[in-house]
Amino acid sequence: MNYSKKTVYDADVKGKKVLLRCDFNVPQDKKTGEITSDKRIVAALPTIRYLLEQGAAVIACSHLGKPVATFDSYVKKQVEKGKAAEDVTREDWEKSLRKLTLAPVAKRLSELLDMDVIFASDTIGEDARAKAAALQPGQLLLLENLRFAKGETKNDPAFAKALADMAEVYVSDAFGTVHRAHASTAGVADYLPAYSGLLVDKELSIMGKALDDPKRPFVAVLGGAKVSDKIAVINNLLEKADTIIIGGGMAYTFKKAQGFEIGKSLLEADRLDYAKEMIAKAEARGVKFLLPVDNLCAAEFSADAEPILVEGDIPEDLMGMDIGPRTVELFGEAVKGAGTIVWNGPMGVFEFDKFAGGTKAMAKALAESGAITIVGGGDSAAAVEKLGFADKITHISTGGGASLEFLEGKELPGVACLLDK
């Protein structure tokens, strides 16, 4: 896949209307609707400011949460949850939509940019079209939640064209959504010249270089619960990495494949042959393939469970919950001399304090490695930030699913649609 895409710096936007896809899918307080972290809004500001300074009229758009776009679909979902169809009201549905309005995002954007942000009460309806038509250079309009329209996730050409008709240029700056072929992430590029925003450009240049031309040795650290989630990632990285480190729940399927007893630990029995195949492939390619040599185990999956250190076979009444001290040392040594390190997925049950030590140690090892360090979104990114190592990491990806598919070597629809340099 070509990661070298034209950016906003290559676009002539003066006096033009720019449709800007942002990632304003922010966490909110369930009771009050207050935004609990504006990190994603702040991340979009450099591109917004650049476009406004260049004399563009900016029409920003984003999704928020998973609203159900039609009343019929809402009824169906409630019935699946056990509610009687006749008890589901249109008022309930409209209330569920109101909880996911982008109005609080417009308010926060106004505060951060110290300017009036115009808010449209729909996406391609009368209000949005009128406000987009009246928008002047240097002004910013935010459309209502894209997923209130059923055409968004279906990449409906009519919806994509209606979005595109409001603008003359398209800019993609929502890396967390580029793995999805939705109307606002890919479809609009059929009707408008499409450029990457500064956030997407940073992701593509840093992660693209790490995969295509890494500073060596290149070490990949993979964790998380399931082998099945990382099959394509491991397969792709075996072609590129010098060392692959496997931790987290997925490590136990590999240990079982090696002939070890794993007790009550997570096991994907249908992936054992795959695990054997990957270990053999690593050996054949001369790639170091490191697995835990000791584990912190527990009798039950609980935050209060007492950690028991086990080397070798895990007794049948215990389950692996985190990597042990010898493994921390082994993995730490492996990243010490690295040129590039990519990390995706925690080393243990990070949400339980007693079993967070392995993930903490890995975050510290990356921060102190001196290597180019890239942390995929999701739990590993949260761990690095929570532990205070974020400023010592070269790049923390803003997209969980997107960064995973990037590591798999998949073509990302929201990137493929952008103009090549």
Is 224 designated active site? no
Residues near 125 by Cβ (< 8 Å), separated by ≥ 6? none
Beta bridge pairs of residue 61: 21
- Catalytic pick among 5, 17, 21, 40: 40
From 65, 138, 332, 401, the catalytic residue: 401
> Catalytic: 98?
no
Residue from 398, 18, 13 nearest 201 by CA: 398
- Which among 197, 324, 345, 378 is annotated as catalytic? 378
Whether 197 is catalytic is no
Q: How far apart are CA 168 and CA 271, in angstroms?
A: 49
**401 annotated active-site:** yes
Whether residue 163 contacts residue 19, with contact meaning beta carbons closer than 8 Å, is answered with: yes
Which phi-psi region, left, alpha or beta, contains residue 370 (left: φ > 0; alpha: ψ -120 to 50)?
left
* Catalytic pick among 16, 129, 209, 226: 226
- Tell me the C-alpha distance between 28 and 339, whole Å: 38
Q: Which residues are registered as beta bridge partners of 342? A: 220, 374
The closest alpha carbon to 231, from 79, 359, 409, belongs to: 409
Q: Report d(CA 99, CA 102) in Å as an integer.
A: 9
Residues 156-176 as b or e (16 or more Cβ within 10 Å = b): beebbbbbbebbbbbbbbbbb
**Which active-site residues does the annotation give?**
40, 226, 378, 401
